Amino acid sequence: MKITLNRVNDNFHFELKNERGHLVNVDSRPEFGGDDKGASPMELVLMGVAGCSAIDMISILKKQRQGITSFKAEVEGERVQVGEAKPFKDITVVFFLEGPINEEKAARAAQLSFEKYCSVSKTLEPTATIHYKVVLNGVELA
């Protein structure tokens, strides 16, 4: 896996490209000297958690022939000062699923993603605690 980065302006706006040519813009907020032309690197980390776990869950539920009519997620990260850096300490993921989906299968899909399959969350495990919950058809699962 390889990523290339090119600086776009005189501040912190970068364009990143993967080997398949997909582009992502990264920048910093104006209060930190950026122009807000893209997500911050730490926001991309949270996006990675959301995307990775969503792919896992949908893959698992599709194999179980569950009818997903809507799938959304919200991810929030709490950071802590460690020297000059501010890594994530706690990350909370909330999945919102709709459709004729079995509750146990939805809960198990989330559990499998975080405990076994999601490489992004596994990468973060040594330094961040990841919490998750599933809301199915408007009802939070236990």
Tokens of 115: 């405990």
Please tell me the distance from the alpha carbon of residue 142 to that of residue 37, in angstroms, as a whole number.
39
Q: Are 110 and 95 in contact (CB under 8 A)?
A: yes
Instruction: Kindly report, residue by residue over 20-61, the tens digit of the pLDDT.
Output: 999 999 999 999 999 999 999 999 999 999 999 999 999 999
Confidence (pLDDT) at 91: 98
Per DSSP, 113 falls in state I
Confidence (pLDDT) at 142: 85
Instruction: Kindly report, residue by residue over 92-128, the tens digit of the pLDDT.
Output: 999 999 999 999 999 999 999 999 999 999 999 999 9
Owner of token pair 């079995």: 102
